[in-house]
Chain A
């Protein structure tokens, strides 16, 4: 038993990173371009959209709730920013998009925080509503930026700053700010306390309803920023552009080790989880597997990661 316990402790501390290192080694052995700076930056740029959303959703998950509406929200906001860019110019389009993202966050947060409705169902309803709103807005047709070469809107997704793509910078600074808010402010402590024990935090004077609302607003805002990067990167949008993002985001958060029950987790764990997922997907593609094989691998990786974590916590493999 002692050996098992020790093994599981080692696995918990180093298992995920170790497994990831082995994966990196295997892939880079068979595909020399995998661990080149160019490809690494490519992967991080790809995950920066998922990552921006995941940073916001992490707040929601730590309060012990879920946000399944981010995929549809990403679609709607990307369509909005691209279409408005053509009509009123980039600056106002960005302002509209961020405003809309805050608004959706407030609606989610009001229904879940103040009316105390089940977050899974509310955000599920929102997923459907926002998908409908997107089709209503665009009529189902694709939208494209008419002058992708001239507009300064290309800055967010297509340009580089000190040889590093701008989305990576935005991702990095959002992670810094998110981390600071979560770890160093009263609001961050309240988020943890609600996830740990909602009743207790209510009785100790935490405005639980408001904190939950703001967590959803943060999740919405992160998605708004992601939509701007997405719109600028693609310079267009169709009504399925954000489909499935809610699942990728959750997978990344879970892989990072944040508990779905709330009360624990950090932004850095989410960043690591999302990035690892990005490398796994990129590596599998470089190895020549079809894109859908990565779903199968993601399944195994997520369950293994969570299981190892749980097993180490309780000192037993099985319940």
Chain B
């Protein structure tokens, strides 16, 4: 008799623990992947609010519109995982888009695109080299280059918007698979590639190690400086890619393009859950953040809300995401 009671108690306890552990694992999933939950809620809300939101065409739109911030965000994630930050991505984007259009006449379309991409990588390299060699925090270095590179854009364009004379240039990214544009496909390709780099290659694993604890990474034999230079260069290159694609989409390049996009980029990356302090995050989360941001902006525009609502919602969402992240992490550590 007592034996069966004991067994019952035992099995009850087992069930309790299994319930507890499954609810814990759900909590853990929410904690680590809350961006997808958030994206889902956004999708549902906007689908209910606007009949145009959840259509194939519009989803394709969201992906294309998000891609431009997306390229910057992929690069920013690499840099942020290192515990650094790059504020100059918006200016780099503007420079590469100005070069891609401005040099077309003199050297032809493809060489101009090549120069534009290289300019992105070059200024990324300069940022990384300055960070690695001087030991100045990347916030200061890239705050400087944010202004400096924008200055170069203004000097190159002479304060005027450049326009392509060859309209076939704007046709290049007009390739679609279903509703997904070439731009979005390139973005997902890069995100996939760098997720693979992060999770499967030595460089990726070292990225986390450097961001987690730079000193011990150095002592473990990782070449921290070279490593950072590579990540900054990649970040610049991705900004260059975004610039070229944006110039193709618009057919023009104006010197003020992508002003304060570095802020939207940081918002997308942080929404995804990557930590500014480095060592924690992934490309998937960033993709989630980018799509959520794009869906939010797109949904608000479909609802015909005035411009300021979008700014206010973004600010509020960002603070809430931060509070949520904080609460979930502290409940984990308790």
Binding site for A on B (CB under 8 A): 85, 130, 132-137, 139-141, 143-148, 150-152, 154-155, 159, 225, 263, 266-267, 270, 276, 306-312, 314-316, 318-319, 322-323, 326
B226 to chain A minimum Cβ distance, whole angstroms, is 12
Interface string of A225-257 (1 = CB under 8 A from B): 000000000000000000000010011001000
A98 to B134, CA, bound (A): 41
A35 to chain B minimum Cβ distance, whole angstroms, is 25
A-B contact sample (5 more), CB < 8 A, given A260-B139, A290-B159: A251-B144, A254-B143, A290-B154, A311-B134, A314-B135
Most buried by A among B145, B147, B276, B309: B147
Most buried by A among B130, B312, B316: B312
Instruction: Write the chain B residue with the least CB distance to A250.
Output: B143
A193 to chain B minimum Cβ distance, whole angstroms, is 21
Judge if A272 is at the interface, Cβ distance under 8 Å. no
A/B interface sample: 11 pairs, CB < 8 A: A124-B263, A125-B316, A128-B267, A131-B311, A292-B154, A296-B147, A299-B147, A300-B148, A306-B136, A310-B135, A318-B133
Are B318 and A121 in contact, CB atoms less than 8 angstroms apart?
yes
Are B146 and A247 in contact, CB atoms less than 8 angstroms apart?
yes
Are B147 and A125 in contact, CB atoms less than 8 angstroms apart?
no
Judge if A3 is at the interface, Cβ distance under 8 Å. no
Are A133 and B308 in contact, CB atoms less than 8 angstroms apart?
yes
A290 to B255, CA, bound (A): 14
A60 to chain B minimum Cβ distance, whole angstroms, is 14
Q: Which of chain A's residues have a CB closer than 8 A to the CB of B136?
A: 303, 306-307, 310
Are A302 and B316 in contact, CB atoms less than 8 angstroms apart?
no
Instruction: Write the chain A residue with the least CB distance to B312.
Output: A132
Name B's interface SS.
helix
Instruction: Write the chain A residue with the least CB distance to B135.
Output: A319
Judge if A4 is at the interface, Cβ distance under 8 Å. no
A228 to B318, CA, bound (A): 30
Q: Which of A9-17, A22-30, A82-90, A112-120 contacts its partner?
A: A112-120
Are B148 and A135 in contact, CB atoms less than 8 angstroms apart?
no
Q: Which of chain B's residues have a CB closer than 8 A to the CB of A126?
A: 315
Most buried by A among B159, B267, B311, B312: B311
Are A135 and B137 in contact, CB atoms less than 8 angstroms apart?
no
A131 to B313, CA, bound (A): 11
A290 to B160, CA, bound (A): 13
Are A293 and B315 in contact, CB atoms less than 8 angstroms apart?
no
Which 5 A-B residue pairs are closest in the complex by CB-CB distance? A299-B148, A132-B311, A129-B315, A295-B151, A135-B308
Q: Which of chain B's residues have a CB closer than 8 A to the CB of A140?
A: 307
B306 to chain A minimum Cβ distance, whole angstroms, is 7
Most buried by A among B141, B154, B314, B319: B319
Q: Which of chain B's residues have a CB closer than 8 A to the CB of A251?
A: 143-144, 147
Are A292 and B266 in contact, CB atoms less than 8 angstroms apart?
no
Are A302 and B140 in contact, CB atoms less than 8 angstroms apart?
yes
Are A111 and B319 in contact, CB atoms less than 8 angstroms apart?
yes
Instruction: Write the chain B residue with the least CB distance to A291.
Output: B154
A125 to B308, CA, bound (A): 13
Judge if A261 is at the interface, Cβ distance under 8 Å. yes
Picked from B134, B310, B311, the residue with its CB within 8 Å of the CB of A307 is: B134
Are A293 and B155 in contact, CB atoms less than 8 angstroms apart?
yes
Judge if A161 is at the interface, Cβ distance under 8 Å. no
A116 to B308, CA, bound (A): 27
Most buried by B among A125, A300, A303: A125
Judge if A136 is at the interface, Cβ distance under 8 Å. yes
A38 to chain B minimum Cβ distance, whole angstroms, is 28
Instruction: Write the chain A residue with the least CB distance to B311.
Output: A132
Judge if A127 is at the interface, Cβ distance under 8 Å. yes
Picked from B130, B159, B270, the residue with its CB within 8 Å of the CB of A121 is: B270
A65 to chain B minimum Cβ distance, whole angstroms, is 12
Q: Which of chain A's residues have a CB closer than 8 A to the CB of B323?
A: 115, 117
Q: Which of chain A's residues have a CB closer than 8 A to the CB of B145?
A: 299
A253 to chain B minimum Cβ distance, whole angstroms, is 10
Residues 238-294 of A at the B interface (beta carbon under 8 Å): 247, 250-251, 254, 260-261, 290, 292-294
A196 to B152, CA, bound (A): 37
Are A292 and B150 in contact, CB atoms less than 8 angstroms apart?
yes
Are B151 and A299 in contact, CB atoms less than 8 angstroms apart?
yes
